[in-house]
Structures are given as C-alpha cells and as structure tokens.
Structure 1
Amino acid sequence: MLTIDNLVAGYDRSPVLHDVSLTVPADGVATVLGHNGAGKSTLLRVAAGLLKPSRGTVRFDGEDITRLPAHKRVARGMAYVPQGQQCFPHLTALENLQLVADGRREGRAALDEALDLFPAVRETLERRAGLLSGGQRQQLAIARALISRPRLLLLDEPTEGIQPSVVAEIETRILELAARGGLSVLLVEQHIGFALRAAEQYYVLEAGRVTSAGSGDGAAEGAVREALSV
C-alpha cells in the first residue's frame, strides 16, 4: 500500500532521514521503532505530505505521490494522526468529529462506526475536547481520522503518555482494525511488545537510518531489543 525508497529528508539544511526504505503491506501493519530523535515523526510527516523530501520516492498504492500535497493524499485515502493527542480544545468531542463527517458522503454512518470502535469517546461527546484526559483525546483523534474511511492510517506514538488502562484499550482497537482488513497502518510506537503484535513488518530507526528490519512476530522481540539496546 505504501512504498518508500531511498528517502532523504530533513529541516532546512539539516538532514534527518538517510536513504530510508520501507513498505507497508496492503491490509497489513508495518511499525517503526526507535529512540527519541531517531527520525520516526519526520518519516510520517514525509509520508503524509507535510514535509518534502530532498531525495527518494513515496508511492501510495502504486502511484508516485512524492510531490503530491497533503490534501490530495487525504483524498486518495490517507489519514494521519500526529503525536500528542491533537484536537481542537475549544470544540466538543462531537464537534471535533463533525469537522470530518459533515459534508462527507456517508459521514454520519462513518461517525457512528468510529464511536462504536471507541465507546469511551461516545461518553464524552458533549464535553470540550480540551477538558478530556490524554487517553480520551487520543481515542478522539484516532476516531476522527477513521471517519474519512482511509485506506492507509499513519499513527505517531498513539500510546505515548497515556495511563496503562487506556493504553490497553488503544492497543486492542488498533489490533482490531488491523484484523478487519481493508486498512493498512504505518505505526510509530515505542511499546515493543504491542508494536510487534500488531505488525507484519517492523523497522528500527537509529539516527535516521534503518538499522534493523524483519517480520513482526514473537521471535523478533529479542532482535528489536538488541537493535535498540534495551
């Protein structure tokens, strides 16, 4: 679904990613692991069209989208949930969801599907998003992205800074999404166990380079921990 080849990208004249290549399988999950500053978020920003690479190609479902702007990637079926439980804090949870649903074909049905997947969000619809807990805001952010019914979901650290009980809930929902089919996921995650349970393919980034890659199965955890020195 997504293929990145020999990607070089950064900010101003400071390169962050160096010849990064990876693939996300159709109807499957690929995960990217690495320490803070390894370039994981930069990689997702390039995939989402928010940062232009200086070299390399990005292909989405076989189409070269390297120079395609972000809004056209969304129109083709891509959704991005950035790091940090981002929402519009002065709007209610429902209003945050309606920003995506309103004017969209079958928007109401897609909104209901997202709420069925994240029942905790349904319980907070009338509350301002800025008053929600971090876990509730993260679930809201993922639910909002799913209303567009994407073919590819980009998730940046969806369990970061969230209480353990909600981490388990988010992990369960992402695994459920992956098992349904019809959706591919590129997941940036620091929880190694969850990342490998969810993913068919993993990549370890270190200083902007892929230093380890393989199949996301139980046998991979030792190799990943060794690559990350944890």
Structure 2
Amino acid sequence: MLELVDVHVGYGRATVVHGASVSVPDGGVAAVLGHNGAGKTTLLRAAVGLLTPTSGRILLDGVDITRLRTNKRVHRGLAYVPQGQQGFPQLTAAENLQVVADAHPAARIDDVLDLFPALRQVLARKAGLLSGGQRQQLAIARALLTGPRVLILDEPTEGIQPSVVAEIEQTITSLTEAGSLSVLLVEQHVGFALAAAQRYYVLASGRVTSTGEGGTEAHDTVRAAMAI
C-alpha cells in the first residue's frame, strides 16, 4: 500500500527526518509514535507531498510518487487530516462537508454522518464554534468524503475528550476491518495508537528507533522505547 523508504526530509538545509522507513499495511493501520519534535509531522508532510525528500522514496502500490504533487496524490487516494482540527471556521459544519462533496461527485455526506452521528446535531452551527472533538470529527469526515484509500492522521486525539477518542478509534477500526481503508497515524496517545494499529514505529530525533506489531501487549515495549 503506502511505503516510505529511507526518507530524509526537512526544511531548507535542516534535515529533520533521517532515513525513516514506514510501511502502511493494506487495509490496516500503521502508527508513528514519538515525543514532540521527533519529526512525526514532517514525515507525514513528506508522505502527502507538502515536503519533498532530499533522498529516499515514497511508494503507493509499488509506484514511486516521491515527486508527485499533493493534488495528484489526493487523486490517487491519499487524504490528510493535519494536526489542529482544521476547516473553514466561518462556514457551518454542513457547508464544510458540502464544499468537499461538491468537488467529489461520488461523495455521500450521509455516509460520513453515519460514521459520526453526533455531527448531525451541529450541522447548522459554524465550525469555529464547535467543540474540539466535534471539529476533529468534522475534519476526518471531510477527508473521508474524498473517498481515500489511505487516510493520514496527525494527532487526531489531541485535546479532545475520551468519549470522542473512543468514537474515532471505533470508526478507524470499522473502516479498516471492512478493507476499505488504510491509515497512517501519528499519535502521542500510546494506548489509542496501539489499540488501532497493526504495526507501530517509534520516532526519536528523526530516526526510527523501534518497530513491531501493534496491540496492547506492545505497550510496555513502546513506553520503554519512548523512555516515558
């Protein structure tokens, strides 16, 4: 599915990620864990085409997309939800969804609302007035409207209440178990990440320092690798 192979990437002359390799399983979840400043977001920005690696390759179904522009990657099935529940704050929740649906004729708003039913109650409310959890659900729903094959999530649980974290985990699990989606997840919430992921990668100072199978049994190993 999606592979990042020996990727070196950064900003200007400053390299932030040093030779990281991450593989997202077909119909599964790969979690990248690490502290702030480890290079996690930089790695995701390279995956989606917002940064160009100085070396290494990014492959989608074995095809090299390292130099492909972001919009072309979206057309091939990548969707990116950046950190911070981004959207159009002055538009209503319904208008936020409709903007994406208008650009994707096959999109069905009702389908994503079925995944996040709490959004139905706030469709008429401006996105900027939603709670953090509601904004995150809206951001993920917007990304899913593009019909992605790989969903790239950056810190989806940051600053939101546990009940919404559980709903997001359930949604990710149901979509991947149905075989309709693969997920590349960056997260500091170890419990959430390992519960969702088939494989984890710990990033420190831009390098993968530990990797293994996901699941709650990996919790102690990951915590040790992150030196928590």
Using the size of structure 1 for normalisation, the TM-score is: 0.97
1:34 matched residue in structure 2:
34
Within 1, Cα distance between the matches of 2:206 and 2:99? 35
The one-letter amino acid paired with 2:192 is F
Instruction: Write the mapping of 1:158-169 to structure 2, written as runs, cut at 5 A.
Output: 158-169=156-167
1:128 matched residue in structure 2:
126
Q: 1:187 aligns with which of 178, 185, 188?
A: 185
Which range moved further: 13-22 or 212-221? Answer: 212-221
Determine if contact 1:178/1:198 at 8 Å carries over to the other structure.
no
1:197 matched residue in structure 2:
195
The answer for unaligned runs of 5 or more in structure 1 is none
- Give the SS at the match of 1:229: coil
2:209 matched residue in structure 1:
211
Instruction: Write the mapping of 1:70-109 to structure 2, written as runs, cut at 5 A.
Output: 70-107=70-107
Within 1, Cα distance between the matches of 2:182 and 2:169? 16
1:55 matched residue in structure 2:
55
Aligned residue pair count: 228
Determine if contact 2:133/2:164 at 8 Å carries over to the other structure.
yes
1:103 Cα deviation from its structure 2 partner: 4.2
Within 2, Cα distance between the matches of 1:39 and 1:180? 31
Residue by residue over 1:185-224, the C-alpha shift from the partner in whole angstroms, topping out at 9 and shown as x without a partner, is: 0001111111111111100000000000001023211110
Residue by residue over 1:159-201, the C-alpha shift from the partner in whole angstroms, topping out at 9 and shown as x without a partner, is: 0011222222222222222222121100011111111111111
2:20 matched residue in structure 1:
20
> How well do the aligned residues superpose, as a CA RMSD in angstroms?
1.0
The one-letter amino acid paired with 1:58 is I
The one-letter amino acid paired with 1:139 is Q
Within 1, Cα distance between the matches of 2:154 and 2:90? 23
Determine if contact 1:38/1:207 at 8 Å carries over to the other structure.
yes
Within 2, Cα distance between the matches of 1:127 and 1:175? 28
Within 1, Cα distance between the matches of 2:152 and 2:29? 10
Residue by residue over 1:136-170, the C-alpha shift from the partner in whole angstroms, topping out at 9 and shown as x without a partner, is: 00000000000111000000000001122222222
Using the size of structure 2 for normalisation, the TM-score is: 0.97
The answer for unaligned runs of 5 or more in structure 2 is none
Within 2, Cα distance between the matches of 1:167 and 1:25? 22
The one-letter amino acid paired with 2:47 is A
2:153 matched residue in structure 1:
155
The one-letter amino acid paired with 1:115 is L
Determine if contact 1:29/1:198 at 8 Å carries over to the other structure.
yes
The one-letter amino acid paired with 1:3 is E
- Give the SS at the match of 1:113: helix
Residue by residue over 1:66-108, the C-alpha shift from the partner in whole angstroms, topping out at 9 and shown as x without a partner, is: 000000000001100000011100011011111110142222x
Determine if contact 2:104/2:145 at 8 Å carries over to the other structure.
no
1:46 matched residue in structure 2:
46
Within 1, Cα distance between the matches of 2:89 and 2:216? 39
Residue by residue over 1:33-61, the C-alpha shift from the partner in whole angstroms, topping out at 9 and shown as x without a partner, is: 00000000001100000111111100011
Determine if contact 2:16/2:205 at 8 Å carries over to the other structure.
yes
Within 2, Cα distance between the matches of 1:36 and 1:194? 17
The one-letter amino acid paired with 2:166 is A
